[in-house]
Amino acid sequence: MKLRPIIVSLLENDMYKFSMGQVIYHQFSDYKTTWSFKCRNTDVVFTPEIVEEIKEQIKHYCTLRFTEDELAYLDKIKWIKGTYVDFLRLWQPRFEEFTITTDGEQGLTIEAAGSWLNTSMYEVPTLAIVNEVYFRMAYKYDELMDSFKAKLDEKIQKLVAGEYDLGAFSEFGLRRRLSAEAQALAVEKLSQIVTSNGNFVGTSNVYLAKQYNVTPVGTMAHEFIMCVGQGNHKHNPAYSNWYMMKAWVDEYGVLNGTALTDTITTDCFLMDFQLTYATLFSGVRHDSGDPIEWGEKMIKHYINLGIDPRTKTLLFSDSLNFERATELKKHFAKKTKVAFGIGTYISNDTKVTPLNIVMKVTRCNGQDVAKISDVKGKGMCKNPEYVDYLQRCIDWRLQH
């Protein structure tokens, strides 16, 4: 490695990877998945030197193990069970499950294939590595860090001064952060704010949550609905959300209950989000489409079920900044509880455009899987025929 190690702990992952990982361990331990990397920035080029550094950094990540101190921290989280902690004591990433090459339009391809238990855990550290290697090797990093610090201080000043009014918000920026240094600085400074305009409740980065004594935040990602709903070939994929919610409630009961709505469209989600599950889940998360339209739809759905929407939380997490979060909080005031998960705007706001990179599950148990969200362009399935099949299943269910 030319750079210092980027991932220094296996806790350096998003909390929802552990929340999903426990369900995977207890209910889907035999599932196999394939993950694929994609950079959506058309003007980005990964040089062979950058690719080699990414490869070496991932190889180093695969040497890490959970420490007893880290396992004790996880064991204290209310919904994490001892059986899963015991599994993590034995768990290790496997470099053999990665394929990293210089092929592809932008000079980098990454795939990971193996058990879902393993490959699910690779996504976020891999993206964090790609980000930091790229910005340290393609730019003058010190200049980026200076602009990051200036922008972060400006955000905090405006928040304290009352220009922004966020209410409860969390930092969700691990996968697309400028660097480990930048994210740690942001969490440290935000955790020290005392203001009525914003209540910083935690971070998705479990390592930093432990370090700065804030709440680790995160329940589920699209992968969970995709694999649970589409990985069993006997399932009709239009019922993916029902299978997801059943597995989640079987594992957690009323704990850890924020459901993600847009994996196969929110309209299809609402067909399964009926009284029992709407009562058991404490809220829902928005990740695509118009947030106000989505929020009003969720409030109407709760009211139609006879549930007071003011007892539920709408968590917004799609490309947010403080200004947009302020607008959403104002709009939904007195209608429902709102919270915000804010990522790149906190962890990688500099004088240059951040990377828009993803690593998505593309196959499960030998079959294509796909996401059809509330806006086009967020999916990564490599088989158009499967996407067409999934869309027809959804359409048929909605129409009949």
Tens-place pLDDT, residues 82-115: 999 999 999 999 999 999 999 988 999 999 999 9
DSSP code of residue 14: B
Q: What is the pLDDT of residue 181?
A: 98
- Rounded CA-CA distance 56/143 in Å is 25
Q: What is the pLDDT of residue 338?
A: 97
% residues pLDDT > 70 (the chain): 100
pLDDT per residue as tens digits for the range 126-144: 999 999 999 999 999 999 9
Question: 286: pLDDT confidence band, cut at 50, 70 and 90?
Answer: very high
Question: 376: pLDDT confidence band, cut at 50, 70 and 90?
Answer: confident
- Rounded CA-CA distance 255/182 in Å is 32
